[in-house]
Amino acid sequence: MQNRNQPVAVEGYPFIALFAFITLVLALLGLKCLTVILLLLTLFTVYFFRNPERVTPADADAVIAPADGKVIFVGKVAEERYFKGETTKVSIFMSVFNVHVNRAPFSGKVVDMFYHKGQFVNAALDKASLKNEQAGILLETERGKRLLFVQIAGLIARRIVTYPVVGDLLKKGERYGLIRFGSRVDIYFPAESEILVQLGDRTVAGETILGYLR
C-alpha cells in the first residue's frame, strides 16, 4: 500500500500499533512512569509519520523539493553514472522532526533506478552521498531533460521505501516514497539548470522551488 491521502504514512502503522500496545500493557500493570514514556513515544511516532497535503506550484519548468528539510549542499559535481560529466547537486537533510514522505520533483517517466547497500554514517556529511545505503530514480521529462534524485539512508535511518518501477510516469509533487528516521535526498540537475536555493535554506516537499530546467 502506498501513501496517498492518509494523514499518517502507512509505513508507520506497525510502529504506532506496537508502541500503543506496549503503552496499554504498562498502563494495565500500573507502571505510570513507563506508561507516560511509551505514550510520548507513541505520539512522537504518529508525528514522525505524518503525511500532510501539499500545494505544488503550477510553474511547468520548476523543479520542486522532494523532501522537507535543510539544504546542506549546492554546487557543481561530477555525476558519471548517467550524466557522464558535470551536474549541479542540491542536497536536503531531513532530521527526525521533518516530514519524511518524499515527493517527485518533476513530472516525467522513470527510465532507470538503482539501489545500493552501504554504510549508515551521518547523512549530513558529504561522504554519505557515496558511502551510505541509497536508492535513486532517473526521470526523463517530456522535453528529454533528465533529473536524478537519490534517497540516502542516514545514521538512524535503516529503511528506504521507493514506490515507482521503471516505466512509471510520475507527476510533480506526487508522493513516491519515504525514508524512516532521519536521512537526506540528493537531486542532480543538468549543468545548464537555474538553481534558486542556497545553503541553509529550508525546503517543503512538494512546494519549495529548487530551480528550473532550462
The residue annotated as part of the active site, out of 91, 107, 183, 193, is 183
User: Can you tell me which residue has the cell 509519520?
Assistant: 49
3-state secondary structure at position 42: helix
Residues 203 and 170: beta-carbon distance below 8 Å: no
d(CA 153, CA 132): 6
d(CA 5, CA 130): 34
Q: What is the largest CA-CA distance in the chain?
A: 64
183 catalytically annotated? yes
Cell of 107: 513530472
User: Can you tell me which residue has the cell 530546467?
Assistant: 213
Burial (CB count within 10 angstroms: exposed 0-12, middle 13-18, buried 19+), residue 104: buried
Residues 209 and 196: beta-carbon distance below 8 Å: yes
3-state secondary structure at position 22: helix
Provide the annotated active-site residues.
183
